[in-house]
Each structure stands twice: as structure tokens, then as C-alpha cells.
Amino acid sequence: SYVVTQPPSVSVAPGQTARITCGGNNIGSKSVHWYQQKSGQAPVLVVYDDSDRPSGIPERFSGSNSGNTATLTINRVEAGDEADYYCQVWDSSSEHWVFGGGTKLTVL
Amino acid sequence: EVQLVESGGGLVKPGGSLRLSCAASGFMFSSYNMNWVRQAPGKGLEWVSSISSSSSYIYFADSVKGRFTISRDNAKNLLFLQMNSLRAEDTAVYYCARFLSRTTMVSSFDYWGQGTLVTVSS
């Protein structure tokens, strides 16, 4: 089955840019979705279809996807962005949804 | 306002059964495909199952196939997950989640409930 890989942790200072990657074989050919999950809360969709933002999600959140890597970029990081972030793709060969293992974003 | 409220979680012994429910409101439930996603304590998200709006299409993760059943009652705006032959590794918070798109099941999950905890232990 399809595997997506995320770094376990990313740290960034407030005001800087955070980049969280999601790696997979030719992931650029798939649509990637990103979720933010703060401690003790349900996940929230922050980017869908590689680079679209749901209403209410700040423009600071953006996504890209090419080759073997999809990236969630958070500009001007704030303390409130500290959370776990998960990427998600549909594996058509197995007809399964696949989540990455998650990346813990720490705001220093 | 879209709301998804899960219920039915609790403590169950290995080999036992449990039925989770998800009550939907604030949108036309019968038009949307739905999902169950779980999260073991301290672990990441794991997709469990998806069901189309008319129940025509159903998918399961390999880890639960043959033990779990997904169903829905569109007249009552309810989504269900029947869990049989439960194992310790099924211990998790179970979330129901709505597909963003009404026309395809290859879509992100735009609304999530707050989850219900299932603990499988003797």
C-alpha cells in the first residue's frame, strides 16, 4: 500500500516560515490534503487539493505538491500555530485513505 | 452550522462489540459521503472506513475489514460504526468526518466531530 512520510517534528521561531513535508512515490500525481490538530482537539482541514484553503483558514497557510514531495508552508508563524499537522492522500490502487504519521510543529 | 456528534464509546473487553453513532446536523446529511477516522492514544490519525451518501460504496482499512461495519440512516441523519471482535489495538478516539465534496469520495474531510473514546481492555 502507499506510504507517505512526514518528519516527526519541525521547530520555528515566531514570525518565521515553517515548512512541513509529506513524501511519497510520485505524490505529485495525487491530491494532498493537510490537517491541523491542536492538543486535545479534533483535526481541522487547513489545505485541500494540494493548495486550496477552506474558508476561515488564514492566507499564511499554503501548500504545494510536485514530484515526490508535498509541502505545507506556514508564513509568519504564530504561537497559536503550534500543533500536529497531518497530510492525507487517496491511494487508488488499494482504495484506502492514507495519513502521514504527523509532524509536531513547535513554535520556539 | 455543521455539527457532528459522536456517541457510543466506552470500555469493552477484548472480543466484545460496540456500536458508535454520529449525529449530523446543519447540512443535508443524505447528500454527503462520510467517514470514520481513529486515533490511538498519543498516536497519529488512522482512516477506518468510508460510506457513500446512498450506502452504495463502502471502504474499510485492512486493520478492521471483516470486523467492523459502517452504515447510515439518512432519514435520521445518523452514521454508525459497528465494531465486533474488538482488540486492544482498537483502543482509540473515533471521529466521524464529512467529505468536502458531495460528488466524489476522493475528497478531503472538511468537518470532524469531537470524537468518542473506545477502550478495549480486560
CA distance B96 to B22: 6
Question: What is the pLDDT, as a whole number, of residue B71?
Answer: 98
Each residue's pLDDT tens digit, B72-110:
999 999 999 999 999 999 999 999 999 998 888 889 999
Question: What is the pLDDT, as a whole number, of residue B105?
Answer: 84
Question: What is the pLDDT, as a whole number, of residue A60?
Answer: 98
Q: Of B44, B59, B106, which is closest to A101 when you measure between CB atoms?
A: B44
Q: Does B113 touch chain A (CB under 8 A)?
A: yes
Instruction: List, in order, residues 6 or more apart from A57 with CB less than 8 Å away.
Output: A45, A46, A47
Q: Does B59 touch chain A (CB under 8 A)?
A: yes
Residue B90 grid coordinates:
482498537
Alpha-carbon Rg for chain B, nearest whole angstrom, is 14
Q: Does B40 touch chain A (CB under 8 A)?
A: no
Q: Of B45, B61, B62, which is closest to A86 when you measure between CB atoms?
A: B45
**Percent of chain B at pLDDT above 90?**
95
> What is the number of H-type helices and E-type strands within chain B?
0, 11
Report in angstroms the alpha-carbon separations of B1 from A96, B6, B22, B25, B81: 29, 16, 16, 8, 24
Cα B82 versus chain centre, distance: 9
Task: Quote the minimal CA–CA distance from A2 to chain B in Å.
Answer: 13
Question: What is the pLDDT, as a whole number, of residue B106?
Answer: 86
Ranges of residues in chain A with a pLDDT under 70 are none
